Amino acid sequence: MESIYKKIWQLAIPFYKKGRSYDIIQVRWMMKEGDRIADLEKIDKKLLLPLIILHDVGYSKVKIKDPHIKDKDTKRVHMREGAKIAAKILEQVKYDPELAKIIVRYISIHDNWVFGDDWPYKSSREMALFNDLDFLWVTSSFRAFAANGKSMGLTPKSFYKFWESDEKLTRRPFCCSATQKIFDQSMRRIKQQLT
Ligand SMILES: [Fe+2]
């Protein structure tokens, strides 16, 4: 990964340390997969990677440690605060101001699905891939899966049932075969680990 993204990541880490217990591993996973799939799908990394790296820095301003993953209030706060922090970090690294403006806007609406608004993901390929990765991280390991289920008060078994028919799958279908493949493989792996 180019050094500019590494620099942005270094500036984001202190915020993530104050965020949710799994933010750092989540963003690391999304960066790796985002970098790989952007090459396959010819998606603009100048928008995608800073969006991935900075999208959840706003959890540093949320009082609850690991909030319910569909709670509207925390979603609203973390998007608003995250956009402010991201703007400062992008300015600090002297990121192209035009691109920074778009990234900050994306961050301010990145979880708008929680309010029933899927327009951001339909209007931008970066946002569509971002949303796929944000969703797919949940099944990237059994540990991540269990932690997300726990935030909703669900056991891994009942969370599996919930996740295999999550509204994401029909409202915001996977943007490409690469993300569909990750979903199919990781759900199969999680299923095997359920006892
Ligand atoms: Fe978020």
| 117 C-beta neighbours (distance < 10 Å), count | 11
CB-based neighbours (< 5 A) of ligand 1, an ion: 56, 111
Ligand 1 centroid from CA 56, angstroms: 5
Cα dist from 86 to 4, 105, 153, whole Å: 14, 10, 31
Predicted local confidence at residue 59, as pLDDT: 95
Ligand 1 centroid from CA 78, angstroms: 7
Predicted local confidence at residue 69, as pLDDT: 81
Please write the tens of the pLDDT for every residue from 3-57. Answer: 999 999 999 999 999 999 889 999 999 999 999 999 999 999 999 999 999 999 9
User: For the chain, what are the domain ranges?
Assistant: 3-193
pLDDT for residue 186 is more than 90: yes
Ligand 1 centroid from CA 73, angstroms: 12
Predicted local confidence at residue 21, as pLDDT: 87
Ligand 1 centroid from CA 149, angstroms: 16
Judge contact between 144 and 21, C-beta under 8 A.
Answer: no
Predicted local confidence at residue 125, as pLDDT: 97
Backbone angle region of 116, left / alpha / beta, with phi > 0 → left and psi within -120 to 50 → alpha: left
pTM of the predicted model, to two decimals?
0.94
Ligand 1 centroid from CA 41, angstroms: 23
Q: How far apart are CA 58 and CA 123, in angstroms?
A: 24
Predicted local confidence at residue 195, as pLDDT: 74
Please write the tens of the pLDDT for every residue from 113-156. Answer: 999 999 999 999 999 999 999 999 999 999 999 989 998 899 99
Please write the tens of the pLDDT for every residue from 47-70. Answer: 999 999 999 999 999 988 888 888
Ligand 1 centroid from CA 189, angstroms: 25
Predicted local confidence at residue 63, as pLDDT: 86
Residues sharing a CB contact under 8 Å with residue 31, sequence separation 6 or more, in sequence order: 1, 5, 9, 49, 52, 53
The fraction of the chain above a pLDDT of 90, given in percent, is: 90
pLDDT for residue 1 is more than 80: no
Ligand 1 centroid from CA 195, angstroms: 30
